[in-house]
């Protein structure tokens, strides 16, 4: 994907998915609400000195609390971005999204939109627009101003004045104005080079079944088998430290080998906030490698999850999926 600086945006498509930013009170508490376009237009009209690019608005359906986000919704979001750029003539997209799964969605879209020569920015808010001390308009206006100045092609996460790379960050706080942060994960992965045609953003993607399993002391083969037998195609295995697991448990290793033999892609990442996986450092890690587990290097959970969805959904041969998982595609390893 090109990362060259872009000219200032001339027409932004705003895609509103719901989330806290547009929620209003209901009898059951705060819930996603329509009418955000008018509210956004009114607040911008009240700040004539604020310079933002022209924008259009599209409300996604259904509006959701981002806790209800799914990979199927990602596909609709991907199609809406493509329609905005390739059909409607916008040259940038701003996605308004709830914060709980915003990092997941932004990372997933980084892989779903490979090759798109336009900036896509995700933002949201921790408090609904209009309530005291809300960060909603601060984030919406700041994201629009960033697009007005010109951003590189690709997917970005904007929050509280900071632009972040979605494949390197996560939501680390459930409070305050700075819920997202770039994680200090290890770098050094080899770049992909030429993008396979099947991964181009214009090529349709199928839904994939991917799971995440954090290791914990005493985890059993039966618990892993439950996931393997559920029909998953990919598994993000959150390991200890630099990529260790219960290597003295033959049944657990046999289950991982069975996953490999069934064509399930298992990729190891670290549970640690900093660093990454190096499967050959400890015997407990190298044994994972011998039963088919791949190294996720310094990938975050969000990046590994989104990458597996994109690769498995592109209908690539299994060996190609495994090869690409360990290569850097959009900054997740570098």
Q: Which of 20, 99, 101, 167 is catalytic?
A: 20
Three-class SS string for the chain? Answer: CCCCCCCCCCCEEEEEEECHHHCEEECCEEECCCCHHHHHHHHHHCCCCCCCCCEEEEEEEEEECHHHCCHHHHHHHHHHHHHHHHHCCCCEEEEECCCCCHHHHHHHHHHHCCCCCCEEEEECCCCCCCCCCCCHHHHHHHHHHHHHHCCCCEEEEEECCEEECHHHEEECCCCCCCCEEECCECCCCCECCCCCHHHCCCCCCCCCCEEEEECCCCCCHHHHHHHHCCCCCEEEEEEECCCECCCCCHHHHHHHHHHHHCCCEEEEEECCCCECCCCCCCHHHHHHHHCCCEECCCCCHHHHHHHHHHHHHCCCCHHHHHHHHCCECCCCCC
Active site residue 20: yes
Question: What residues act catalytically?
Answer: 20
């Amino acid at each position: 994907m090109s990362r060259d600086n872009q000219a200032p945006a001339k027409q932004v498509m705003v895609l509103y998915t719901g989330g806290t930013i547009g929620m209003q009170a209901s009898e059951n508490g705060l819930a996603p609400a329509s009418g955000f376009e008018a509210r956004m237009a009114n607040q911008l009209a009240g700040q004539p000195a604020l310079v933002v690019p022209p924008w259009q608005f599209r409300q996604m359906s259904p509006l959701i609390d981002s806790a209800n986000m799914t990979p199927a919704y990602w596909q609709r979001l991907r199609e809406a971005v493509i329609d905005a750029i390739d059909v409607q003539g916008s040259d940038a997209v701003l996605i308004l999204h709830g914060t709980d799964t915003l990092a997941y969605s932004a990372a997933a879209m980084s892989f779903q939109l490979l090759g798109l020569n336009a900036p896509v920015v995700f933002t949201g808010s921790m408090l609904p627009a209009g309530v005291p001390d809300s960060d909603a308009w601060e984030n919406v206006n700041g994201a629009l101003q960033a697009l007005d100045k010109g951003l590189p092609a690709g997917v970005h996460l904007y929050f509280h004045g900071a632009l972040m790379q979605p494949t390197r960050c996560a939501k680390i706080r459930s409070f305050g104005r700075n819920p997202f942060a770039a994680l200090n994960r290890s770098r050094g992965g080899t770049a992909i080079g030429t993008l396979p045609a099947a991964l181009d953003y214009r090529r349709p993607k199928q839904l994939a079944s991917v799971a995440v399993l954090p290791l914990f002391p005493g985890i059993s083969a039966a618990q892993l088998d439950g996931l393997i037998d559920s029909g998953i195609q990919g598994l993000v295995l959150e390991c200890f430290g630099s990529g260790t697991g219960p290597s003295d448990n033959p049944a657990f290793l046999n289950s991982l080998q069975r996953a490999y033999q069934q064509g399930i892609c298992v990729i190891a990442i670290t549970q640690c906030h900093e660093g990454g996986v190096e499967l050959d450092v400890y015997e407990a890690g190298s044994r994972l490698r011998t039963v088919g587990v791949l190294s996720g290097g310094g990938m975050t959970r969000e990046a590994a999850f989104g990458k597996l969805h994109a690769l498995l959904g592109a209908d690539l041969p299994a060996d190609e999926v495994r090869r690409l998982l360990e290569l850097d595609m959009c900054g997740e390893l570098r």
